[in-house]
Amino acid sequence: MKALLSKEFKLCVHPALFIYLALILMLLIPNYPYLVSCFFVCNGIFFCFQQARENGDAMYTAMLPVSKAQTVKARVWFVVIIEMIDIVLMAGMCAFALVAMPETNGGGTDHSLSLIAFALVLYAIFNLIFLPSFYKTGYKAGSAFLKSAVGIWLWLIPCEGLMIASHAIADSNLDIAFFRFLHENVDCMPKTAEALTVQAILFGAGLLLYVVCTLLATKISVKRYEKVSVA
């Protein structure tokens, strides 16, 4: 597995991936929907799959003394590592923003544990849709990414939209219990015990969902790829 994972990073990494990871700097843009940066990372992962396909990676790997299950699991670990790199970068940017950008984000989720939790859910959706869809054929990366993009935006738009609405309603001095809860406990840099507890629960739930969805995606992908002929 270690050798396969090394092969993934040496032969399958597309240069665009580094550009998309660098877009974590979008978290320094005031009043912006920061989850969009995660979508670009998913785009970078797609480019890696596409490059591997064009370079004949499936045929090359088939000639190695490894099973199809090992091949899939190595690629999944490759994806997970990329996503976790982005999550760590996001956590660092959020910590930096606590000092450099203390004002609230009117364009989406604030720099907080909530943002990281929402990002984990976004990656869970991407993995659950993209990986099984790709490994159904082993080469249709484009259609797999389009399907996953639909799932990503069905999460991203209402998620960031609710945060924008909670901020706008708070600014308008309207008192709607649900949006007040979001504004005071979810869409904020946690400064109270209640907000920290709520965001910690969201983070835990997001992480659990990410693990479950990625494991499920791996299982389905292995099952599908076993039926694919790479000859």
> Domain residue spans in the chain?
2-225
Report residue 155 as tokens. Answer: 């999460």
Q: What is the pLDDT of residues 132-141, one digit of tens each?
A: 999 999 889 9
Taking only Cα atoms into account, the Rg of the chain, rounded to an integer number of angstroms, comes to: 19
Coil, helix or strand for 150?
helix
Query: What whole-number distance in Å separates Cα of residue 108 and Cα of residue 62?
Result: 45
Q: Looking at residue 27, what DSSP letter applies?
A: G
pTM of the entire predicted model: 0.95
Query: What whole-number distance in Å separates Cα of residue 101 and Cα of residue 189?
Result: 11
Q: Which among 11, 5, 214 is positioned nearest to 222, based on CA atoms?
A: 214
Q: What is the pLDDT of residues 31-71, one digit of tens each?
A: 999 999 999 999 999 999 999 888 888 888 878 888 889 99
Task: Indicate the residue type of 127.
Answer: N
Tell me the CB-side half-sphere exposure of residue 153, using CA atoms within 13 A: 7
Sequence-ordered alpha helix ranges (H) in the chain = 2-11, 16-22, 36-54, 57-62, 68-100, 113-135, 141-171, 177-181, 193-225
Query: What whole-number distance in Å separates Cα of residue 138 and Cα of residue 117?
Result: 30
Q: Per-residue pLDDT for the chain (231 aa), expressed as one digit of tens each? A: 788 888 888 888 999 999 999 999 999 999 999 999 999 999 999 999 999 888 888 888 878 888 889 999 999 999 999 999 999 999 999 999 888 887 888 889 999 999 999 999 999 999 999 999 999 998 899 999 999 999 999 999 999 999 999 988 988 888 898 989 999 999 888 888 999 999 999 999 999 999 999 999 999 999 999 988 765
